[in-house]
A and B are shown apart, each in its own frame.
Chain A
């Protein structure tokens, strides 16, 4: 076991630093807005202005971004090396430099098109998606479909050169800001439920398409409902064969994931909690001096450390080409529960000020923790609820019988 990087990797790190010094000035660094919203959850810098694009192009040219995607479509096509990815992610984060664009376009659509798209689709969409010029939303979920995604009912019927789409999507993140949607629609109503689905690219400006913000418990509207009323989509926007959308949608970036950064946001939230506990008073003394609270803080920190070290372990497994097995499968469940518990503890530290919402100056955290306390529930549900995660762990990880109905 050795937590240092070998000389070769240290040289690589030096190269990356040099590249950043040469191409991302002090002024650039200071002008990068702090990450917020969804991107903050991943600790990324979201800038897609001209300056950022020019920088990204250079970084791709150097092999630093989109390492798993072909050069022909805007990736940098590098040999598999998760340690390099980890180093790139770390150094870019320190320099507040624009890394890979965060969102479902680069992470889900781009690899899908590379694998299943027509040449025209690849040329038209992939590069601009990777540079953040085309913003995508994902049209999978529907009211009532929940975790049984394949039960979706939005239908598309072929009418000459167009698919005519009718139905409704829900929980669509960023639909307001998106230029395009990649959607699953039912094209063969008589086929068994997994076989009748097609994968369609839909221009969000098409007439008949209506986006309505869906306000969530935090008060924000990160999600939307999207309604389709005879929305006409050109035939050539079908990805992969008709009726094979389910298979097409299973493509994912064969991706070196920067696993070390995985706990970055949780670490920041925890450090914020300790800071609040240092400053807040609890019945006349610093909250941090309260023995019950100290005990809870150490418990939380221990779990945080476990998830950080597990990131090292996963990274090592990845670089050795080993299967991550259970160690990888459990992380979402583990970290979402941890995030919630950190925010909940913060609410106790804040005492009566926990009643105050984001933006109120009367609380030392400006209400950030009451916000993250609510948001933690969103993360628990998004991308498969905790109970679905538990099913996956039990069935695929521990060999329990699959649910009879699936």
Chain B
């Protein structure tokens, strides 16, 4: 019985944390946000050198061959630092390739993705706003895929798209489409979270290689939900820490505002909500790795829970900062905007709770 992190996991987490603290302060985040695309790519390459891009890729393909829990720890640190880049799409695409099972695609793409030489993303969202495999409208037949995908993370810089679509038998499957294909058209969307751009990708009769294992569809979605939960945890933790340090330094009426009970209580409530939720994130990731009959439901629970919580914590933290918290110049809104991303992308909380109720047989 051991519900804690291993030495290796702590080391990985700590390495990423220290790298980001040194190399990715919010000044650099802002540079990337404000459109320096080359800079985004450079950061991603640096992160890939630390193993971020290949955490769960097999060792034979240049990865660390770890588990989703390890990847969730990385997501937490990226969320903590509000690190910009294509992490979510790349991570989900790697899960898809790992679990989807096409040897040739794995050989061709996993080493390049793990090294950060190529960027992949996941194309899932559609007009109707449902993220369940059974709701997909995009369709593929005879190696050709057609469909319009919304809210595709970092599609501008993606070399490979893993696309969720129906196959000729109507069942949901994942397909790999290369960026160079003439049937691919990418248009940027106007987004709130400038650290993680979203795009519309239209596929018109694009060449598509099917990933044979249909179960990878749900697994990929589950992984994405858990990673968003971990990102939300890291971001919430950061907002709490910022609020605490502000409360200790900002003085009013001759004392630090942290001496006032109203402030103390608001901080305590945030901490009380956050601490147990970390255990929930860990458990969901662990379930994905080892207790698979629970993992779809836990992925839904964690996404719903954490995105609500992230929203609350960023809001309370901003309120606690007073006017300065509401300015563009002050960094808090970076997390507030990331919270907006985490709550919206891959489906909102109410929707996932409805799924969880159904999965419980209620």
Q: How far is the CB of B267 from chain A (nearest CB, A)?
A: 5
CA distance A278 to B362 in the complex (A): 8
CA distance A2 to B267 in the complex (A): 32
User: Does B276 contact A330, Cβ atoms closer than 8 Å?
Assistant: yes
CB < 8 Å neighbour of B275 from A6, A327, A390, A404:
A327
| Contact of A19 with B by CB under 8 A | no
Q: Given the complex, which residues of B lie within 8 Å of A334, measured CB to CB? A: 272-273, 275-276
User: Does A393 contact B1, Cβ atoms closer than 8 Å?
Assistant: no
Q: Given the complex, which residues of B lie within 8 Å of A394, measured CB to CB? A: 258, 264-265, 267-268, 271
Q: Which of these binds chain A: B14-22, B35-43, B154-162, B278-286?
A: B278-286
Assuming the contacts A1-B3, A1-B282, asked whether A295 and B350 have C-beta atoms less than 8 A apart, the reply is yes
> Restricting to A244-291, which residues have a CB under 8 Å from any CB of B?
274, 277-278, 288, 291
User: Does A399 contact B286, Cβ atoms closer than 8 Å?
Assistant: no
Q: How far is the CB of B295 from chain A (nearest CB, A)?
A: 13
Q: Which of these binds chain B: A28-36, A150-158, A183-191, A297-305?
A: A297-305
> Restricting to A22-52, which residues have a CB under 8 Å from any CB of B?
none
| Contact of B191 with A by CB under 8 A | no
CA distance A391 to B267 in the complex (A): 10
User: Does A397 contact B271, Cβ atoms closer than 8 Å?
Assistant: yes
Minimum CB distance partner of B305 in chain A: A302
User: Does B267 contact A310, Cβ atoms closer than 8 Å?
Assistant: no
CB < 8 Å neighbour of A309 from B255, B264, B273, B283:
B283
Q: Which of these binds chain B: A53-61, A204-212, A217-225, A313-321?
A: A313-321
Overall SS of chain B's interface: helix
Q: Given the complex, which residues of A lie within 8 Å of B267, measured CB to CB? A: 393-394, 398, 400
Q: Given the complex, which residues of A lie within 8 Å of B3, measured CB to CB? A: 1, 3, 309, 312-313, 315-316
CA distance A401 to B263 in the complex (A): 11
| Contact of B247 with A by CB under 8 A | yes
User: Does B2 contact A316, Cβ atoms closer than 8 Å?
Assistant: yes
CB < 8 Å neighbour of B280 from A274, A299, A309, A327:
A309
| Contact of B5 with A by CB under 8 A | yes
The tally of residues in B whose CB lies under 8 Å from a CB in A reads 48
Q: What 1/0 mask marks residues of chain A from 383 to 398 whose CB sits below 8 Å from any chain B CB?
A: 0000101110111011
Q: How far is the CB of A148 from chain B (nearest CB, A)?
A: 14
User: Does A320 contact B357, Cβ atoms closer than 8 Å?
Assistant: no
Q: Given the complex, which residues of A lie within 8 Å of B280, measured CB to CB? A: 302, 305-306, 309
Q: How far is the CB of A221 from chain B (nearest CB, A)?
A: 32
CB < 8 Å neighbour of B268 from A306, A310, A317, A333:
A333
| Contact of B269 with A by CB under 8 A | yes
| Contact of B144 with A by CB under 8 A | no
User: Does B356 contact A3, Cβ atoms closer than 8 Å?
Assistant: no
Q: How far is the CB of B196 from chain A (nearest CB, A)?
A: 25
User: Does B244 contact A309, Cβ atoms closer than 8 Å?
Assistant: no
CA distance A320 to B4 in the complex (A): 9
Q: How far is the CB of A63 from chain B (nearest CB, A)?
A: 19
By size class, the interface of chain A is 35 or more
Minimum CB distance partner of B356 in chain A: A298
CA distance A403 to B105 in the complex (A): 62
User: Does B353 contact A294, Cβ atoms closer than 8 Å?
Assistant: yes
Assuming the contacts A313-B279, A315-B1, A330-B276, asked whether A299 and B353 have C-beta atoms less than 8 A apart, the reply is yes
User: Does B259 contact A400, Cβ atoms closer than 8 Å?
Assistant: yes
| Contact of B60 with A by CB under 8 A | no
| Contact of A342 with B by CB under 8 A | no
Minimum CB distance partner of B352 in chain A: A298
User: Does B354 contact A294, Cβ atoms closer than 8 Å?
Assistant: yes
Q: How far is the CB of A305 from chain B (nearest CB, A)?
A: 6
Q: Given the complex, which residues of A lie within 8 Å of B192, measured CB to CB? A: none
> Restricting to B250-270, which residues have a CB under 8 Å from any CB of A?
255-256, 258-259, 261, 263-265, 267-269
Q: How far is the CB of B7 from chain A (nearest CB, A)?
A: 12
Minimum CB distance partner of B269 in chain A: A390
User: Does B264 contact A307, Cβ atoms closer than 8 Å?
Assistant: no
CA distance A9 to B301 in the complex (A): 31
Q: Given the complex, which residues of B lie within 8 Å of A315, measured CB to CB? A: 1, 3
CA distance A395 to B271 in the complex (A): 12
Q: Given the complex, which residues of A lie within 8 Å of B298, measured CB to CB? A: 305
Q: Given the complex, which residues of B lie within 8 Å of A400, measured CB to CB? A: 244, 247-248, 258-259, 263-264, 267
Interface centre among B244, B267, B275, B350 (most CB of A within 10 A): B275
Q: Given the complex, which residues of B lie within 8 Å of A331, measured CB to CB? A: 276
| Contact of A86 with B by CB under 8 A | yes
| Contact of B277 with A by CB under 8 A | yes
> Restricting to A190-204, which residues have a CB under 8 Å from any CB of B?
none
CA distance A193 to B267 in the complex (A): 30
CA distance A313 to B259 in the complex (A): 31
Assuming the contacts A295-B354, A299-B353, A400-B244, asked whether A306 and B2 have C-beta atoms less than 8 A apart, the reply is no
CA distance A331 to B286 in the complex (A): 22
Q: Given the complex, which residues of A lie within 8 Å of B304, measured CB to CB? A: 298-299, 302
CA distance A284 to B5 in the complex (A): 49
Q: Given the complex, which residues of B lie within 8 Å of A333, measured CB to CB? A: 268-269, 272
User: Does A1 contact B350, Cβ atoms closer than 8 Å?
Assistant: no
CA distance A312 to B282 in the complex (A): 11
| Contact of A326 with B by CB under 8 A | yes
| Contact of B6 with A by CB under 8 A | yes
CB < 8 Å neighbour of A390 from B244, B264, B357:
B264
User: Does B1 contact A330, Cβ atoms closer than 8 Å?
Assistant: no
Given contacts A274-B362, A317-B4, A393-B272, 12 further A-B contacts (CB under 8 A): A1-B69, A291-B354, A295-B354, A298-B357, A305-B298, A309-B3, A310-B276, A395-B264, A398-B267, A401-B255, A403-B259, A404-B259
Q: What are 12 A-B pairs at a CB distance below 8 A?
A: A1-B5, A3-B291, A4-B1, A295-B353, A305-B283, A313-B4, A316-B1, A316-B4, A326-B275, A334-B272, A397-B271, A398-B267
Nearest 9 Cβ contacts at the A-B interface: A394-B264, A312-B3, A309-B279, A390-B268, A306-B276, A393-B268, A330-B272, A298-B353, A310-B276
